[in-house]
Structure 1
Amino acid sequence: MGFPGTWMTESGSMVYRVVPKCACSTIGQIMFYSDHGRFFDGDIHDAAEGLHKWAREDSQPIIEKAVKERQAYTYTCVRNPYTRILSSFFDKIAGIQRNGQRYRGNLVPTLIQKYGIEVGSPEDGFDFDQIASFRRFLLFARDTIRWKKPMEPDIHWSAMSGHISTFIANGGRYDQIFFTETFNDGMQVVLDHIETPHKVDLATIPRFNESEGHGPKRAHPVEDYFDDLSRHLIWEIYHKDFQLFRYDFDDPSNKMPLGEVDLDEIHAKLG
């Protein structure tokens, strides 16, 4: 099984378990910059050199050795499940991807046909009922996660605890798990624990939001998208994420965590 979704700097300073929709583009660029003194030109997910990735066969033995021998500071980053699934919807379902196409080819037409979702288009200014369509998407996301129908769950809306657990189950251990909502504080802790070839000043690092500008803007406050049924579905899919990462299920408008992550609990429950 190994360590899918894991990135490591070439200098071996840090290991990061990618969790989609949780500042992964920014983290990857910081890792790249810390080794090379420049940012990767393009989407860091497309980088085929300059960063060890489990998806690269030549990187696998290097990452495996570093993880199993605990040679590098190891971390990941999490996000409020309410805002994460909303971001997935606006980016992957309603948005146009970097290649100018819809995400995953026939996915959006399937959702329009089977779930009655509308997504608008760049031509009409993405004019559609965001709340109604999002709630129908949520039903689809639940179906993929619960029954793997009409397709396998996608990494962008499968639970964070699932991504994070594969790393532990295969013998890894996290030194830190921090929050997207307090990104600079959490990333600074990582940088304080390591030596990097190039110094990183978080105050001057841009945010790399690769999905921005390709789709509709969210038109309503977060809480408006979640009625009773939506929240029931959210709990069904993400109850572990709320519990383990201390997010506020009762108040969708509160994106901030209610407390710090307990690493021992994470390793015990997800191992």
Structure 2
Amino acid sequence: MTEKRVYLNPLSAASPLTRALAPFFPRYRSLLALEAYPEHLRGPLRNLVMSTDRRILFLRNLKCACTSVAQLLYYYSEGRFYPRSIHRATRGVYLARYWWSEIEPVYQAHSAFLFTLTRSPQARAWSGFTNFFVDASNIARHNHMGPMRDHGYDPAHGESYNFDVFLDYIEHSLAIDPLQTSAHFRPQVFNIAFGEIPYDHIGKVETLADDLRVIFERAGAPGFPPKELIEQRFNRSEAPRTPLTPAQRRRVRTIFARDYEAFGYDD
């Protein structure tokens, strides 16, 4: 029987190609600089976003409104939203993928207000599934399509069937190595290095508007963002959410048990 494949991310970026390109491109310099940190911190730190006034640090927890919040940080600096993918912006915010040299001293000094967001594991799992395999809109989708087919993915069988396949795929990946499992799919405690990174605030997508008001006020920008900006959403799936079966809900609770315990969800 052919072994089912999974796509895993490498733990180290210190490849010969990265070393060769680092003198010329900030992205590769940042990757090499982050190699100084333990493996389990490299991914989370690479997802930091800093405001240009260096008052606010946001750690992107994937599939937890990270596009919308990164856009708000860009608006905070520039007075408008970024017209393309905010996760590739080279101005208006500092992204750790390009500007780790700017972010690291602020992070180390804890001189900015540092926050992140979490989300209901059921809603987040469904969001990851639809983003990759229903809307087919994630740029990394091609990495996972072959392995998902190995696990039984077939669009003709419908979303509920394929969500079960998706949960099989996550379980298989996590059994090999949680740190190498896609940050879109793995438990959030790994994405945010829960218990190790000293957050000033951990908010929830479910209470996003209230959390954002608290975050910006405590960071020294009371009144931002106004209501009309809070209501803006980016990278939202257009696919309606199919109700999970009782068996699927139990599986989500098992796979993401650490998230339920750490963040107090009870869905």
Q: Supply the distance in 2 between the matched residues of 1:49 and 1:130 (Cα, whole angstroms).
A: 39
2:170 paired residue among 141, 145, 149: 141
Which segments of 5 or more consecutive residues in structure 2 lack a partner in the other structure? Answer: 1-36
Partner of 2:256: 238
Q: Supply the distance in 1 between the matched residues of 2:138 and 2:141 (Cα, whole angstroms).
A: 12
Q: Supply the distance in 2 between the matched residues of 1:205 and 1:181 (Cα, whole angstroms).
A: 13
- After TM superposition, the score normalised by the length of structure 2 is 0.76
Q: Supply the distance in 2 between the matched residues of 1:165 and 1:48 (Cα, whole angstroms).
A: 26
- 2:122/2:249 contact within 8 Å kept: no
Q: 1:160 and 2:202 equivalent?
A: no
Local SS of the residue matching 1:52: strand
Q: Supply the distance in 1 between the matched residues of 2:224 and 2:123 (Cα, whole angstroms).
A: 31
- 1:188/1:202 contact within 8 Å kept: no
Counterpart residue type for residue 217 of structure 1: P
Partner of 1:227: 246
- 2:63/2:124 contact within 8 Å kept: yes
Give the helix-richer structure, 1 or 2. Answer: 2
1:31 paired residue among 69, 73, 76: 73
2:207 paired residue among 159, 162, 182: 182
Counterpart residue type for residue 232 of structure 2: R
Identical amino acids, percent of aligned pairs: 21
Q: Supply the distance in 2 between the matched residues of 1:200 and 1:185 (Cα, whole angstroms).
A: 11
- 1:7/1:51 contact within 8 Å kept: yes
Counterpart residue type for residue 127 of structure 2: S
Counterpart residue type for residue 238 of structure 1: F
Instruction: State the number of aligned residues.
Output: 225
1:132 paired residue among 142, 156, 161: 161
What is the CA-CA distance between 1:208 and the residue it aligns to?
2.7
1:217 paired residue among 237, 240, 244: 240
- 2:89/2:95 contact within 8 Å kept: no
Which segments of 5 or more consecutive residues in structure 1 lack a partner in the other structure? Answer: 121-127, 253-271
Q: 1:195 and 2:224 equivalent?
A: no
Partner of 1:46: 88
Q: Supply the distance in 2 between the matched residues of 1:106 and 1:55 (Cα, whole angstroms).
A: 20
- 1:37/1:198 contact within 8 Å kept: no
1:65 paired residue among 83, 89, 105: 105
Q: 1:118 to 1:72 in 2, by over 3 A?
A: same
Q: 1:155 to 1:98 in 2, by over 3 A?
A: closer
Q: 1:177 to 1:10 in 2, by over 3 A?
A: same
What is the CA-CA distance between 1:5 and the residue it aligns to?
1.1
Q: Supply the distance in 2 between the matched residues of 1:153 and 1:207 (Cα, whole angstroms).
A: 30
Partner of 1:92: 132
Local SS of the residue matching 1:165: coil
Q: Supply the distance in 1 between the matched residues of 2:219 and 2:73 (Cα, whole angstroms).
A: 12
Q: 1:106 to 1:13 in 2, by over 3 A?
A: closer
- 2:71/2:82 contact within 8 Å kept: yes
- 1:90/1:217 contact within 8 Å kept: no
Local SS of the residue matching 2:49: strand
